[in-house]
Amino acid sequence: MHATVKKKVELRKEYSSIIAVDMGARWVGVSVAPHRNKPKFYGKRIREVRRKYFWLRRKLGREKKLRAIKKIEHKEKRIVNDELHKIAKDIVDEAERHNAIIAIGNLNGVRNNNKGRKVNRKVNSIPFYRMKEYNKASERGILVIEVPEFNTSKQCSKCGSMNTKRPSQGVFICKDCGYQINADVNGAKNILKRAHA
Ligand SMILES: [Zn+2]
C-alpha cells in the first residue's frame, strides 16, 4: 500500500540564520551556523555505543551465543535510534531559538536507489531524511532545505579551490590557500555557503 498524506503547514516568512548540517563519516553530523562561532559535533554517544557493541558481538560470537547476539543487536538499534532523535531535536530546537533555516546536504537521488552500502549507511544515519523528523520541523514553522552535497568534502570552504588533500580522514588541507580544518567542519561550511547562495 502506498499512502500520501497532505498537511498544510505555516512556514515563517523571514529567517535570520542558517544551520548547515553535514553528515560526516566520523561523526553522525557536524553543524555550523553564523549565529555561533563553534561547530557542533553530534553523535559522540553513538560512536561509543557502536564500539561497545562491536566488541560485545565479537565476544559472544566466539562463545557461539547466537541468541544473545540477536538480543543485543535490538538493544543497540534502539539506543542508536534514540540518540538520532535527540540529535534531530537538538537541531530543530536551535533552529527555533535562532529563527534559522536548516540546510542539509543532498546526495543526489541516493535515497531512491541502491548505490552501495557506504552511501546508504551514511544516508540512513541522517535523521532529517526521515520524513518524521522533517515533518516535525515544518510543523514548527522551520524550513528545511537540501543543497547539493556534490564535492562538499573535496572543495575548500575558504577559497573554493579543489586542489586539496586529506592526509587523514579527519583533516582537510587546501593546497592553494593553506586552510587547514577538521574535514567534517569544512563540509558543513560548504553546505552553509551553498545554502546562502
Ligand atoms: Zn583554499
Burial label, 66 (beta-carbon count in 10 A; 0-12, 13-18, 19+): exposed
CA–centroid distance, 76 to ligand 1, in Å, is 40
Location of C-alpha cell 559535533: 41
Task: Decide if 42 contacts 94 (C-beta within 8 A).
Answer: no
The pLDDT of residue 72 = 92
CA–centroid distance, 184 to ligand 1, in Å, is 15
The pLDDT of residue 84 = 84
C-alpha cell, 189: 561550511
CA–centroid distance, 173 to ligand 1, in Å, is 8
CA–centroid distance, 181 to ligand 1, in Å, is 10
Location of C-alpha cell 551553498: 194
What angle is formed at CA 88 by the lines to CA 83 and CA 90, rounded to 5 degrees? 90
pLDDT string in tens for the chain (197-residue length): 888 877 777 777 789 999 999 876 667 889 999 999 899 999 889 889 989 999 999 999 999 999 999 999 999 989 988 888 888 889 999 999 999 999 988 765 444 434 444 444 444 444 555 555 666 777 788 888 888 888 888 999 999 999 999 998 889 999 999 999 999 999 999 999 999 98
Task: Of 115, 95, 98, give the one whose Cα is nearest residue 107.
Answer: 115
Burial label, 131 (beta-carbon count in 10 A; 0-12, 13-18, 19+): exposed
Can you list the pairs that 47-50 forms with residues at least 24 positions away whose Cβ atoms lie under 8 Å? Answer: 49/76, 49/79, 49/80, 49/83, 50/76, 50/80
CA–centroid distance, 118 to ligand 1, in Å, is 27
Amino acid identity of residue 38, one-letter, is: K
The pLDDT of residue 139 = 79
CA–centroid distance, 13 to ligand 1, in Å, is 35
The pLDDT of residue 110 = 44
pTM above 0.75, yes or no: yes
The pLDDT of residue 129 = 53
